[in-house]
Amino acid sequence: MYKHIAVVTGCAGFIGTTFTRLLLEKGWLVYGIDKFTYVANFEEVQWLADTYPDTFTYTVEDIKNIDRLPECDVVFNLAAESDVDNSILNMDNFIDSNISGVKNLLEIITHRSVQIKNNKPLFFQVSTDEVYGDTLENTFDETAPLIPSNPYAATKAAADMLIESWSRTHGLDYIIARPSNNYGENQYPEKLIPTAVRRLQRGKKIKLHNKGKPIRSWTHVEDTAEAFILLYEKACRNNIYNIQSDYEQTNFITVKKIINAYFMGAINIEIPDYNKHIDYSYDRPGQDVRYSISCESIKNYGWTPKKVFDEEIVKLVDYYKKRKWKW
């Protein structure tokens, strides 16, 4: 007997593969859906299918185009275009996945629920802390207004608002999770940590936009995955929950620790000249200065992050140094 039955869209992504693995380890039956774009980790998904043949299967589909869902208790929507720089260059894929894809899932659950089960499944939307916009001093809780400052964040904010209005109109139960920056293994090298390691491997400078001044909070992907399950099992429906560790630092400090870990094997042993390894010439249009969110709502259910960035980053840099890049 399965603990629960879930559909996980975006199952081949960075968070998606980690989350799917955790569900399977906990005895869930999981149906994965992913369109397998350039960031997809096919090897990890196939490993899950081979390791859990009785409880995991996946299909290669675009959530914008599917016309049915299997019977399930919950739809975890992790499918999304998420690279901010790409959204600045061209928004089309972001609108397709992050807005139109969400709309299609909502329509299937609402209007074709007889194909799913007698009761409509919960819709669990994975959003982002970026929907609140940036702040130098404040910390945003879940009631803060949405003021996204880049096209990617705007599409995620639009999806969140669509879900809330859909719930009011059609009686759909939902949970919206808004995690901060995630880090961990198997991340595609367009994100800061794997990109930095790969550039160091190739003898190239790390591109650090806006001189490394932007401040980010880092949450380990395994802590985020645990948070999703906790919210499903314990949290009140039709609510929003922020997810973030209590750790923040400038991007320069993050890159400095990556360089130290790469060359010295420890974050507290410094190299003589960081300028040899960092390119400060790039500025991102509309750069967010700092994200900061309050997580009291989810902490009230007992969630606390277990991973500590300064302890994990040395192991993570070593992991990416040894990785055979397929991308």
Query: Active site residue: 152, 174, 232, 291, which one?
Result: 152
Q: Can you tell me the distance from the alpha carbon of 266 to that of 312, in angstroms, rounded to the nearest whole number?
A: 11
Measured torsion, CA atoms of residues 73, 79, 82, 86, in degrees rounded to the nearest 10: -160
| pLDDT score, position 115 | 47
Q: Can you tell me the distance from the alpha carbon of 154 to that of 221, in angstroms, rounded to the nearest whole number?
A: 23
Which CA distances in Å does 101 have to 128, 200, 241, 293, 326? 16, 37, 22, 26, 28
Q: Can you tell me the distance from the alpha carbon of 181 to that of 220, in angstroms, rounded to the nearest whole number?
A: 8
Q: Could you give the count of Cα atoms lying within 13 Å of 64 in the half-sphere of its Cβ?
A: 13
pLDDT by 10s per residue, the chain, length 327: 788 999 999 999 999 999 999 999 999 999 999 999 999 999 999 999 999 999 999 999 999 999 999 999 999 999 999 989 899 999 999 999 999 999 999 999 998 654 455 578 999 999 999 999 999 999 999 999 999 999 999 999 999 999 999 999 999 999 999 999 999 999 999 999 999 999 999 999 999 999 999 999 999 999 999 999 999 999 999 999 999 998 899 999 999 999 999 999 999 999 999 999 999 998 988 888 999 999 999 999 999 999 999 999 999 999 999 987 665
DSSP 178-216: EE-EEE-TT--TTSHHHHHHHHHHTT--EE-GGGG--EE
Q: Which residue has the tokens 């001044």?
A: 213
| pLDDT score, position 288 | 87
Which CA distances in Å does 218 have to 117, 197, 215? 38, 17, 10
CA end-to-end span of the chain, whole Å? 38
Q: Can you tell me the distance from the alpha carbon of 255 to that of 232, in angstroms, rounded to the nearest whole number?
A: 35
- State the Cα angle at 290 between 286 and 295, rounded to 5°: 130
Strand, coil or helix: 130: helix
Tell me the pairing of strands 215-220 and 248-250.
antiparallel
With beta carbons less than 8 A apart as the criterion, state whether 217 and 245 touch: yes
Q: Can you tell me the distance from the alpha carbon of 7 to that of 77, in angstroms, rounded to the nearest whole number?
A: 8
Q: Can you tell me the distance from the alpha carbon of 103 to that of 46, in angstroms, rounded to the nearest whole number?
A: 28
- Selected from 3.40.50.720, 3.50.50.60, 3.30.70.20, 3.40.1260.10, the CATH number assigned to the domain covering 5-190+218-247+294-307 reads 3.40.50.720
- Nearest-Å Rg of the Cα atoms of the chain is 20
Catalytic residue flag (residue 273):
no
Catalytic residue flag (residue 129):
yes
Burial tier of 172 (Cβ tally within 10 Å: 0-12, 13-18, 19+): buried
Per-domain residue ranges of the chain: 5-190+218-247+294-307
Query: Active site residue: 44, 130, 160, 223, which one?
Result: 130
**Beta-ladder partners of 32:** 8, 58
| pLDDT score, position 3 | 87
Query: Active site residue: 62, 73, 129, 226, which one?
Result: 129
| pLDDT score, position 327 | 54
Catalytic residue flag (residue 288):
no
